[in-house]
Amino acid sequence: MHSQLKRRLIGSAVLLLAAIVFLPFFLTGEGYRERQLESRIPAPPPLSAPIEIKQETSVLPDTSEYPPVQVEPKSEPEAVVVKVEVESTEEVQEALEEKRPVIGVENKRPELDEQNVPVAWTLQLASFKDEANARALRKQLMDSGHKVYTRKTADLFKVYVGPDLQKARLESLKEGLKNDFGLDGIIVRFTTQ
């Protein structure tokens, strides 16, 4: 059996050598044709000669020949004395009292929480599922001169007016908005989150 294995190995080696010697004669590449691709790109235009720009220099006239310009100082206008009749101070005070707006809310010092931070309040007017509705109400309130902002919670858009440090002002604002817009809001503590 050992001799039969040797014969097979020698035979396969002879076939391999014959293939190495004769295969290049058969595979010369005569059947291969290189593709001739036509280019559709136009030829580059011929380069034109660079344009030379000559700078023209001109001599400015000598200004030392002219006399220096004299600037005359402007005369200040004369002060005119006008006598104004002053009303009595009592009449002025009464006129000021009439024009001064009456504010029903006292200006108290803001409340402080346990961290000594001023407590601010805000008026929540509406909650919408659709952001476009919240924006429309915000625009309507801003056009009427209110400080308005919106916040997005998990699935709602809430519209707020404020904030203000004094709850009493928001309560009067709440009544005004209820009369003007038909919105009955709730006063909540303002947070920055």
Residue 138 placed within a domain: yes
* Number of helical H runs and strand E runs in the chain: 4, 4
**Residue 65 vs residues 22, 62, 68: alpha-carbon distances, Å:** 104, 7, 9
Residue 20 placed within a domain: no
Residue 161 placed within a domain: yes
How many CA atoms lie within 13 Å of 88's alpha carbon, on the beta-carbon side? 3
Report the C-alpha gap between 127 and 183 in whole angstroms.
11
Report the C-alpha gap between 25 and 23 in whole angstroms.
5
- Residue 151's CATH number: 3.30.70.1070
Amino acid at 174: K
DSSP tag of 65: G
Residue 159 placed within a domain: yes
Residue 67 placed within a domain: no
Q: What is the pLDDT of residue 129?
A: 92
Q: What is the pLDDT of residue 7?
A: 94
Residue 48 placed within a domain: no
DSSP tag of 188: E
Torsion angles phi and psi, residue 158, rounded to 5 = -105, 140
Residue 184, classed as helix, strand or coil, is: coil
Q: What is the pLDDT of residue 40?
A: 85
Q: Show the domain range for 142.
A: 121-189
Tokens for 77? 């206008």
Segments of the chain with pLDDT less than 50: 105
Residue 99 placed within a domain: no
Residue 184 placed within a domain: yes
Q: What is the pLDDT of residue 35?
A: 77
Number of domains in the chain: 1
∠ CA 58-62-66 to the nearest 5 degrees?
145
Which of 178, 185, 143, 180 lies closest to 161, judged by CA? 185
pTM to 2 decimal places:
0.43
Q: What is the pLDDT of residue 47?
A: 83
Which of 172, 171, 146 lies closest to 159, judged by CA? 146
∠ CA 12-17-23 to the nearest 5 degrees?
115
Which of 152, 129, 146 lies closest to 181, judged by CA? 146
Q: What is the pLDDT of residue 159?
A: 92
pLDDT in tens, 15-70: 999 999 988 888 877 767 777 778 888 888 888 888 888 878 777 777 666 666 67
